Amino acid sequence: MHLSKGPILGQRHLQIFLLFLSITVNYIAKFNAGVAVVAMTNAETTNPNFPEYDWDEMQKSFILSSFFWGYFVTQFPGGYLCRRFGAKITMFISTIGSALAALLIPFTVDWGGWQVYCGIRVIQGLFQGLLFPCIHAHLAAWCPVEERNRLGALANTGIECGTVLAMFLGGIIAASSMGWPGISYVSCAVGVFWCILWLIFAANTPRESKLISEVELNYIETSKNALKEMDVKETPKKIPVPWKAIMTSWPFWALLVARSAQSWGFSTLQAEIPSYMNGVLGMDMKSNAMFSALPYFTMWCMSYVYLILSDILLQRKVLTLNGVRKTFNSLAFWVPAIGLIAVGFVGEDQQTLAIVLMTANVGINAGSTIGSALNTIDLSPNHAGILMGIVNTSANFIPILTPLLVGLIVKNEEDRTEWQIVFAISAIVFGLGNLFYIVFGSTQLQPWDDENFLKSSQETQNEDCPTEKKSIENKEKY
């Protein structure tokens, strides 16, 4: 039976656009500290009319890592809250909380110093930790099976967009009449604006949407339920989480290792680029902000290249989805691993080469979104939010460590040898993490995704244990 594909542009695309914007505005708030800290400790290179603070490298490292102290804590609760209250209200609370916390920074740092800045960043992290489990659950709810890869990747390009804007606009704002406080004001404003759009247009499921057409609703639900032989009009049920099955699943552990390795390598570059380019390459703040943003602008562009390429490979059946995931993840991990080693041998007299290498590293790494980030939905659409909560808890514990590790290793920002150690460690993690994913990773829908999995497992156990089965029957009898 041929099913209508629904409108070319429908409510599912509006939901994906809202997810893209949510990631963008939250990443602006998440990563603008890298630029803000440089501006706050070297006001002459931006706007000298605003206060300057004498923070050493370890204190700055604490500021950069403090966001993740809160962020990793609420990843798992984020998956639970999304199942309990829905993505709409949970994502709203996540974004509005982070946005309003950003507003506190200019009014409190003057008397509270770097410690209060860390405290506010922890609060922002606690709120934003709820976000990604909801995003993956929302993708699973709204994306037809054949469009999951494309729509999921489109939503996730907000990561690159938000990072670019955090770095590029952060430098411009800091040098403007608003000074470094303007970074916080803009972060708050865009977050609140997204919240208004979200409350108006978002819906937890296609069936809850008041704007969706019947044709699109049937297309989405029929596609998602094609393998389940269930009525598409059936109300979604609360499905119990098969914890033991998940925790003993090799594909799940492969996903967790891959995302943790990605987090280690990427966070090292992401959090430390402003300091690295300022210290080793001797660039002033204006150039620093521009060139710090360049790798992430390239990453943003490359994410669409990967998206188009994956669509072509899948539609022409050149590669299976499993092949696409592992090929793209290998490119995204192993090429930057080699590039990181090369970056460590570049000095101040080779600024152009350093920029080219760093831009290539980050740009090629964009393939990790299609490579492994969307793998949660492959393994289990029903438990995508829970899986993302667990995976992100591990992955986002790592950025707590990486800036602190840099603070311990890099005692002199101008010492290229110290940076070589940092980049070499990241390269090793990238390499081994992807190897584990190649061996054990999978795109097969896991048996424990079935809503009746726990019930079936219990029945099987009863059949294997006649005494227990008889006991249960006797209890039911009486």
pLDDT in tens, 311-350: 999 989 999 999 999 999 999 999 999 988 888 787 777 7
Number of residues in the chain? 478
CA gap 269, 423 in Å, rounded: 9
Q: What is the largest CA-CA distance in the chain?
A: 86
- Overall average pLDDT of the 402-431 stretch: 85
Q: Taking the C-alpha atoms of 279, 285, 290 and 296 in order, what is their torsion angle to the nearest 10 degrees?
A: 50
Handedness of CA 263, 268, 271, 274 (dihedral sign): negative
Higher pLDDT pick, 82 / 451: 82
Supply 338's token pair.
């080699």
Could you tell me if residue 416 is inside a domain?
A: yes
Q: What's the whole-number mean pLDDT along residues 104-111?
A: 92
Residue 231 lies in a domain: no
193 plus 74 within the same structural domain = yes
Number of domains in the chain: 2
Last residue of a domain, one of 201, 225, 249: 225
Shared domain check, 395 and 318: yes
Mean pLDDT across the stretch 25-47?
Answer: 85
Contact call for residues 144 and 12 (beta carbons, < 8 A): yes
Residue 426 CB coordination number (10 Å): 26
- pLDDT number for residue 461: 60
pTM attached to this predicted model:
0.82
Residue 376 · residue 387 · CB < 8 Å? yes
User: Do 395 and 295 fall within a single domain?
Assistant: yes
Same domain, 34 and 127: yes
Which range of residues forms the domain containing residue 155?
Answer: 10-225
Q: Is residue 59 scored above 70 in pLDDT?
A: yes
**Does the residue 471 lie in any domain?**
no
Confidence of residue 293 (pLDDT cuts 50, 70, 90): confident
What CATH number does residue 292 fall under? 1.20.1250.20
Please tell me whether residues 183 and 286 are part of one structural domain. no
Q: Position of tokens 């809160």?
A: 70
Same domain, 441 and 406: yes
- Residue 6, by phi and psi: left (phi above 0), alpha (psi -120 to 50) or beta? left
392 lies in a domain?
yes
Residue 465 in any domain: the answer is no
Do residues 313 and 349 both lie within one domain? yes
Residues 167 and 304 in one domain: no
Give me the residue label for tokens 């039911």.
476
As a whole-number percent, the residues of the chain with pLDDT over 90 amount to 39
Q: 50 with 90, same domain?
A: yes
pLDDT of 236 over the 50 cut:
no
- Domain annotation covers residue 4: no
One domain, residues 188 and 264 = no
Q: What is the pLDDT of residue 224?
A: 64
For residue 284, the model assigns a pLDDT of 57
Q: pLDDT tens-digit profile of 359-396?
A: 898 899 999 999 998 898 899 988 888 898 899 888 87
Q: What is the mean pLDDT of the chain?
A: 84
Q: Does some domain include residue 468?
A: no
